[in-house]
Amino acid sequence: MIMQNCSYQTLRRCAACTARIGIAALLLTAGASAQDATPPAGTVKDGFAIHQSIDLGGHIASYSGSDAMYDTLVNLQSGPRILSQSLDMHAVGKTKFPLFDSLMTNSTGYGGDPNNVTIFRMSKGKLYDFQGFFRRDRQYFDYNLLANPLVPAGLTSNGYTFPQVDSSPHLFNTVRRMTDAGLTLLPVSRVSFHAGYSQNIMQGPAFSSIHEGTDALLLQNWRNSTDTFSGGVTWKAFARTTLSFDEIITHYKGNTFWQLAGADLQLSNGTPVSLGFDNVSVPSCGNHLSPISNGSTTPPTANATCNGYLQYFRYSPTRTLFPTEEFRFQSSAIRNISMNGRIRYTGANSSLPSFNEYFSGLESRTGTRAFTVTGNAQAQRVNVSADYGIVWQVSPKVQLSDQYNFWDFRQPGTDFYTQISFAGASMLTPPPATGASAVTNDFYYLGQKTETNTLVATWQAAPWASFSLGYRYRYRNVVDRRPDMDDISIHQNGGLFGAVLRPTPNWKINGNVEVAYADNVYVQLNPRQLQHYQIRTTYKPKSWAAISAAYNDLERRDNVTYVNHLDHSRVFGAGAELTPNEHYGVELNYGYTDIFTQTDECYTATPAPAGAVMTASPACIANGTPYFANGYYHAPTQYGSIGITLSPLKQLRTAMGYRMSAANGTVEMLNPRQVPGSLQSQYQSPYVNIAYTLHPGCVWKGDWNYYGYGEGSPIGPTLPRSFRGNVYTLGMHYEF
């Protein structure tokens, strides 16, 4: 449709200039991201200034190594694409138009890319403003170490080799569609109205697992959606004061369904069966014989007295309704004082009207041949929150601010389940006609009230320096009505310090420090001590040069016996941008992230790993876990990039660069078969872009990206995860 609006002259010029593409193609490795030279001014028709553009082309992708990892991290495939499209229309002159004065739309990625985006905006003077957004993302995730039991190579029984798990048992291949639309009526009037709609749908196949004596692979047919409707009014009550009210209704539908997958064996009567995918040792069976009774059949025949699965499914449709009312205000009507506030209330209801679960097979430990679970559950969530902030300009150099935040929620819930279990000792024998029935009826209640007040005083000590000093108090009360749980009250006190310095007109430094202490915690990962340091700086020695850097350090501790939790998150980043003139420029970036956490942990393992320490923790002993360790995770990661732009000719713009990230992490390894995997990995992507203007409004573009992923540790008993890929993108940009 857009191409039909292209003028005949423009298309003729572009058709003629495409003869020169062969010359420009010698510069391949080029780029859709390079800037175009001297685009045409567009056209004026029927009272509108109209500017359109379209990029048509495609990808040529080639890669080697792990297909799964390439699709997980890149997932760009060969084929034609609409690389981008745009349309801008703006009214000119004094002509009045009944529908709109301004219209804009832009889209990219259509034709096969994993990410597609469309943006639309339309407005009519003081009457209305409409905005729309659509995004489609395909998420393919198959990092094969996730939930992998790491089955050793060559594990055999009666001539049958148990398969290694080469892909993740929790693989994702889902699509997410996100739609947003918003309309504002009378946007510049004293009273304006707004409404909106948002939808988020996630669906597609995924895999998960279930444990009933052994772990079985489940096909998870994913279909969850969220619809949000909103409407409200904004009233500019008087000068420098605005009041607004919003009603927001969110409806969630969970329709995910689980069923047995991976039944790669058979019983002697031909019935498909799975003995699980976690066979790291030969399974034991009720008749004390081999788990494979005949390895020469296709598929091999399994021992019917082993722990196994014949059928399994689970369906739990969930519906949740979140209606929320929100009132906001902001005002600076009082001299030297500005205020803002918000009150928000949510009364949500969630229901699981019909839960159904069915298992047929054999759980050898309990002698269960089959079971059926049916039931229902309901939950509520009542949430009240309020915020109020005030800033008082005491004098030209002194300012006081206070921010109060309140949050109170309670979440009661009940469930009712009936399980009927059928006993048995062999999967060849049908379940008995009657079974043992067990009823479960639970009541849960979780509530929390949080109050936070932050008082800050700011002093402008000099034109080039200001300092702030503050105090923060937070109170939390957690009510947990589960067995063996008590109410918990937490009081946290903290001090704040900040500084803004400008030693020279071209150099600015910002810094903040927060130190806090809490007298209690709800979970082990919550800190009793907290220190947070932040510093940011920017420096412009020349008009064409800018240098910036930032450092963020968050330290948290819970140093009590049998917890000994410590974590930190340290992030440093620096960058420089140098553009002496329009012909060339350089951009440099470096980032360093250091994530570390350690916490005492209880665990059980058979056989016990080398160096296992018997526990003395009362909590571990009460849970029947005999071993004790200080689990840790450390993931220092570096990132670097360099980008160079060159424009030696008016018609030619090029860009080239290199991006790299590398992790060198370690983790507590209680499993002797575990490997560091992505904790010791490198990911790099050099690129080259070229844009050559064949004629104003007709630009040839090319782009080359290389993607390389590798790990610096053994791959473990699974498929390699490294890959190398080249993606070439060629396209023609038309403007009219």
Q: Which of left, alpha, beta for 537 (phi over 0: left; psi -120 to 50: alpha)?
A: beta
Rounded Cα distance, 289 and 304, in Å? 10
Rounded Cα distance, 716 and 152, in Å? 9
Q: What is the largest distance, in Å, between two alpha-carbon atoms of the chain?
A: 93
3-class secondary structure, 529: strand
Rounded Cα distance, 664 and 662, in Å? 7
Rounded Cα distance, 272 and 582, in Å? 69
Nearest to 732 by CA among 54, 112, 105: 54
N-terminal to C-terminal alpha carbon distance within the chain: 13
Q: Is 581 exposed, middle or buried, given 0-12, 13-18 or 19+ CB atoms closer than 10 A?
A: exposed
23-45 burial, b for 16+ CB within 10 Å, e for fewer?
ebeeeebbbbebebbebbebeee
The CA distances from residue 687 to 204, 346, 643, 692, in Å, are: 33, 49, 9, 17
For residue 23, list its beta bridge partners.
none
Rounded Cα distance, 246 and 248, in Å? 6
Query: DSSP secondary-structure letter at 73?
Result: H
The CB-side HSE value for 485 (13 A sphere, CA atoms) comes to 15
What does residue 20 show for φ and ψ, rounded to 5 degrees?
Answer: -90, 5
Q: Helix (H) and strand (E) counts for the chain?
A: 5, 37
Rounded Cα distance, 4 and 42, in Å? 15
Chain centroid offset of residue 90 CA: 37
The CB-side HSE value for 555 (13 A sphere, CA atoms) comes to 11
Q: Tokens for 145?
A: 């170490």
pLDDT of residue 19: 34
The CA distances from residue 636 to 535, 595, 596, 639, 708, in Å, are: 20, 6, 8, 10, 20
The CA distances from residue 514 to 247, 388, 474, in Å, are: 36, 21, 13
3-class secondary structure, 547: strand
Rounded Cα distance, 409 and 383, in Å? 4
Rounded Cα distance, 149 and 172, in Å? 18
Q: What is the pTM of this model?
A: 0.88
Q: Which of left, alpha, beta for 287 (phi over 0: left; psi -120 to 50: alpha)?
A: alpha
Nearest to 712 by CA among 671, 673, 669, 666: 666
Whether residue 607 is preceded by a cis peptide bond, meaning omega within 30 degrees of 0, is yes
Rounded Cα distance, 703 and 668, in Å? 42
Query: DSSP secondary-structure letter at 15?
Result: H
DSSP conformation letters of 346-359 = EEEEEEEEEEEEEE
Q: Tokens for 722?
A: 């490294």
pLDDT of residue 18: 35
User: Please, are residues 723 and 65 in contact by the beta-carbon 8 Å criterion?
Assistant: yes
Rounded Cα distance, 156 and 162, in Å? 6
User: Please, are residues 524 and 490 in contact by the beta-carbon 8 Å criterion?
Assistant: no
DSSP conformation letters of 721-734 = --EEEEEEEEEEEE
Contacts of 197 (CB under 8 A, 6+ apart): 179, 180, 181, 227, 228, 229, 230
pLDDT along the chain (736 residues), means of 10: 34 36 32 40 81 96 97 96 94 81 95 96 94 96 95 90 93 97 95 98 95 93 96 94 97 96 94 94 90 94 96 96 97 96 97 97 94 97 98 97 97 96 96 94 93 98 97 95 80 98 96 96 88 98 96 94 92 97 95 96 81 83 84 95 95 97 93 91 97 94 97 92 97 94
Rounded Cα distance, 129 and 194, in Å? 9
Q: Is 436 exposed, middle or buried, given 0-12, 13-18 or 19+ CB atoms closer than 10 A?
A: exposed
Query: DSSP secondary-structure letter at 477?
Result: E
User: Please, are residues 313 and 258 in contact by the beta-carbon 8 Å criterion?
Assistant: yes
The CA distances from residue 74 to 9, 33, 71, 204, 407, in Å, are: 39, 18, 5, 19, 41
Query: DSSP secondary-structure letter at 429?
Result: S
For residue 409, list its beta bridge partners.
383, 448
User: Please, are residues 497 and 468 in contact by the beta-carbon 8 Å criterion?
Assistant: yes
